[in-house]
Amino acid sequence: MQLFTSFSLLAVASFASAHGIVTDISSGNDWWTLSNPFRDPYMNPVPDRVGWSFFGAGNGPVPDFTTKDIVCNQFAKPGKLSATIAAGSDLTFYWTVWPESHKGPVLTYLANCNGDCSQVQDPSTLSYFKIDHAGLEDGVWVSDKIIANNNSWTVKIPSDIAPGSYLVRHELLALHSAGQDLGAQFYPVCINFKITGSGNAKPAGVTFPGAYKRTDPGILVNIYNGIKSYIIPGPAPYVEGGSPGNSAEPQPQPTSTAVSTAKTASTSPLTTSVTITSQAPSNTANPPQSITTTTTPKPEPTNINPTSFKTVTTSLRREQLINLCLDDINRQIAAAQPKNGGPVDFSDIEKKREDCYKI
C-alpha cells in the first residue's frame, strides 16, 4: 500500500488518543476550512483560519476536561480571521472519519467575545450558552447519526441573538471509557464568527472549565449496561424567544433541533469507500452491568492486528487509516469489558496503539 512517506514524529505522536477533528464548516454557499494540526504547522506561511488552532494536540481528546483545555482544545490559539453568518442560519460542521465505537453526544455553544474574537487570549473568561445538543434518542446515539450523515452535523444559529462577534464552541463527547473517572473524552473546537441580524437576545451562560463536573451523570456513565436514557452534560439549550434556564447542572434531554446534513461526494474532501479486514476479538466477555470502583482487573489478551488494514478501494489519508486501526482497538476494548464494569486496566491493549502508527 502506498502511504505518505513523510510524516513528522510530532504529528504521529499526536495520534496517541485519536480520533477526530472538524476540518470544515459551511453555511449556505459559504465554506470555511479550519485549522488542521497535521498540515497547517508545516505550511509556509502558516495559513490564517477562522478556527482556533491547537497545534501539538493532534486529533485526540483534551487530556483533562477539568482544565482550560476543555474550552477550545489543548494548546489553543485564536484564529486570525472571522466568518460571517446571519442569525437564523444553519451551520454545518464536517468531522473527519468518526470511530463507530466513540458513542456519545454532540454539543454546541456560543459566547459573545465583547470585541474581536481574534484578540481573545483566554477563552475561559467568556460566558457560553448552549444552542444545540443531542445524545441518545430512541436507542440511537447521535454519534451514529453523524457517521451516517458523512460525519456532519448541522445546528441553527438562534434568529433572535444580538449581532456581534461570537465564539462558536462545538464538540463531540466519546463515552466508550466513561465508566472510569476522567474517562469521558471531549473533542472541542472553537471558531470566530460575526453574527449579523436585528435580534437583542443575550442569554446567560456558563464558564469552562466548570460547566462539566467529573461526576455528572452524562460524564461518569457506563454505556455498556443497556442504558435507555442519557442526560447530556451542561445547561439546556437556549430557545428562541427566551432562556430555558442557563444552569451548569445537567438537564433532561429535549428533542434536538439540529438538522443533520450529509456532505456530498462532490464537495467532501474526505468522502471515501474503504474495505478493511479485521480479526475478531478473542475475548467475548459480556458488557458490564454496573459501575464499580473497587477493582482494576485486566481483560484477557486480544488478537489485535493493525497490519490487517491492507485492503483499500481508494486512496485514504494516513490519519484516516490510523483512525480505522485505532477504532478496531476500541472495539476490542469494548468487547473485553468485564461483566461487573468498573475501572479496568487496559494498558496491555493500549500498547497495541503504537502499531497503528506504523501503517
Per-residue pLDDT reduced to its tens digit, 45-91: 999 999 999 999 999 999 999 999 999 999 999 999 999 999 999 99
Closest to 288 in 3D by CA, of 346, 334, 239: 334
Q: Where are the domains of the chain?
A: 9-196, 272-359
Lowest mean pLDDT among 39-48, 141-150, 263-272: 263-272
pLDDT at 252: 44
How much is the pLDDT for 351?
67
User: 178 pLDDT exceeds 70?
Assistant: yes
Helices (H), the chain: 9-13, 69-72, 142-148, 318-335, 347-350, 353-356
pLDDT of 340 reads 47
Query: Following DSSP, what letter does each residue of 175-194 receive, concatenated?
Result: -TTTTSTT--EEEEEEEEEE
Backbone angles phi, psi at 69, to 5 degrees: -60, -25
Higher pLDDT, 241 or 272: 241
Judge residue 73's burial from the number of C-beta atoms within 10 Å of its C-beta, 0-12 exposed, 13-18 middle, 19 or more buried: buried
Residues 314-329 pLDDT 10s: 444 565 566 667 667 6
Which of 38-47, 294-303, 332-341 is modeled with the greatest confidence? 38-47
Tell me the mean pLDDT in the region 94-107. Answer: 96
Reference 211, options 179, 260, 177, 171; nearest CA is: 171
Lowest mean pLDDT segment, chosen from 19-33, 139-153, 267-281:
267-281
Secondary structure (3-state) at 15: helix
Q: How far apart are CA 30 and CA 33, in angstroms?
A: 10
- End-to-end, the C-alpha distance of the chain in Å comes to 9
9-196 — its CATH code?
A: 2.70.50.70
DSSP letters, 28-77, are: TTEEEEPP-TTTGGGSSSPPP-SBPB-TTSTTS--S-TTSTHHHH-TT-B
Q: How many Cα atoms within 13 Å fall on the side-chain side of residue 128? A: 25
Q: Maximum distance among all alpha carbons in the chain?
A: 60
Amino acid at 307: T
Closest CA to 212 of 238, 185, 179: 185
Select the more confidently predicted residue: 248 or 32.
Answer: 32
- Express as a percent the part of the chain with pLDDT over 70: 65
Residue whose entry in the numeric block shows the C-alpha cell 459501575: 291
pLDDT value, residue 354? 67
Q: How much is the pLDDT for 334?
A: 59
By C-alpha distance, which of 32, 244, 247 is closest to 128? Answer: 247
- Angstrom distance (rounded) from CA 295 to CA 223: 19
Strand partners, 109: 130, 169
Angle made by CA atoms 19, 257, 221, in degrees to the nearest 5: 45
Alpha-carbon distances, residue 310 vs 1, 64, 275 (angstroms): 7, 34, 9
Range name among 103-112, 177-186, 283-292, 294-303 with the lowest pLDDT average:
283-292
Residue 271's pLDDT is what? 32
Global model pTM greater than 0.75: no
| Chain centroid to CA 288 | 25
